[in-house]
């Protein structure tokens, strides 16, 4: 028997589709928290080439060695990787530490964003899973990205509109893990933390606090014995929800 069937509903916005999980089952999970990078989209796989293109462009403008500029930028990046300030984790910030001309930084960031928007892809099963919504389930995006970055990574797939709430750096201003990311959603929707599911590729950042508060966790694309489930394809998510009851 199919785990879920499609249900078409009509609303003011027209016809929309929901995943409908068997009538006899009331799902325990009422909200799913999704990490973005390396969970929904393949950021790690494509980010390198986007920074490379932007830095090559700056080097060409300045007529300097691009390898040297790239190495200098990487060095700055290393010093910032544990920064707790989201703004310091932005490309514009790290690049401005090695390129003093504001206009070049601005144009380079635009080049990087354009390339990223072109090459970023959804991970396995994401498109299929989000095509329809599970009726009544809250979908929450929990990311350190700012709105403009979320826009680049998710809008081309029409995914941004799929979330009931986006908790990102533009409204939290903190790095993960931080309970504030979760509390905003718990409070907004009156959620019981025990009825929440957390999906991410980094247990500490995406799952740990949720689990500590009684929620369930899925690690994406790797093994982590601390997580309740491992998933390599989002089409597995419906089955896991059903197992959770």
Which of these segments, 28-36, 54-62, 69-77, 92-100, binds Mg ion (CB under 5 A)?
A: 28-36
Short-list 30, 44, 1, 3, CA closest to 129: 3
38 binds Mg ion (CB under 5 A): yes
144 binds Mg ion (CB under 5 A): no
Closer residue to Mg ion, CB minimum distance, 36 or 94:
36
Near Mg ion in 211-240, by CB under 5 A: none
> How far apart are the C-alpha atoms of 245 and 242, rounded to whole Å?
5
Closer residue to Mg ion, CB minimum distance, 107 or 228:
228
> How far apart are the C-alpha atoms of 155 and 72, rounded to whole Å?
32
How many of the other CB atoms lie within 10 Å of CB of 72? 16
Closer residue to Mg ion, CB minimum distance, 37 or 99:
37
Give the DSSP letter of residue 37: B
Instruction: For residue 189, report the phi and psi dihedrals to the nearest 5 degrees.
Output: -105, 5
């991410």: which residue's tokens?
200
Q: By the 8 A CB rule, do 140 and 33 touch? A: yes
Instruction: By CB under 5 A, name the one of 35, 55, 134, 182 that touches Mg ion.
Output: 35
| Shortest distance in whole angstroms from residue 100 CB to Mg ion | 32
Q: By the 8 A CB rule, do 141 and 34 touch? A: yes
Closer residue to Mg ion, CB minimum distance, 70 or 234:
234
201 binds Mg ion (CB under 5 A): yes
Site string (103-142) toward Mg ion, x via CB under 5 A: ----------------------------------------
Size of the site for Mg ion (CB under 5 A): 4
Report helix, strand or coil for 7.
strand
169 binds Mg ion (CB under 5 A): no
User: What does the binding site for Mg ion look like in residue numbers (CB under 5 A)?
Assistant: 35, 37-38, 201
């Amino acid at each position: 028997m199919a785990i879920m069937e499609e249900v078409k509903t009509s609303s003011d916005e027209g016809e929309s589709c929901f995943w409908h999980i068997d009538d006899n089952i009331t799902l325990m999970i009422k909200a799913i928290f999704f990490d973005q990078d390396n969970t929904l989209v393949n950021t790690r796989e494509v980010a390198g080439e986007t920074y490379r293109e932007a830095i090559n462009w700056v080097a060409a403008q300045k007529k300097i060695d691009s390898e040297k500029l790239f190495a200098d930028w990487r060095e700055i990046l290393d010093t910032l990787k544990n920064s707790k300030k989201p703004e310091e984790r932005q490309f514009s910030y790290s690049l401005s530490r090695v390129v003093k001309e504001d206009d070049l930084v601005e144009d380079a960031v635009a080049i990087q964003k354009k390339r990223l928007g072109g090459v970023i892809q959804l991970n396995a099963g994401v498109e299929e899973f989000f095509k329809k919504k599970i009726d009544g389930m809250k979908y929450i995006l929990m990311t350190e990205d700012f709105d403009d970055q979320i826009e680049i990574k998710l809008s081309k797939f029409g995914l941004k509109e799929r979330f009931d709430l986006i908790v990102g750096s533009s409204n939290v201003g903190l790095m993960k893990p931080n309970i504030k990311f979760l509390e905003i959603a718990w409070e907004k929707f009156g959620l019981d933390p025990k009825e929440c599911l957390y999906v991410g590729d980094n247990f500490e950042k995406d799952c740990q606090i949720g689990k500590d508060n009684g929620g369930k966790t899925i690690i994406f694309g790797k093994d982590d014995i601390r997580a309740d489930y491992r998933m390599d394809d989002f089409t597995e998510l419906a089955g896991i929800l059903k197992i959770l009851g």
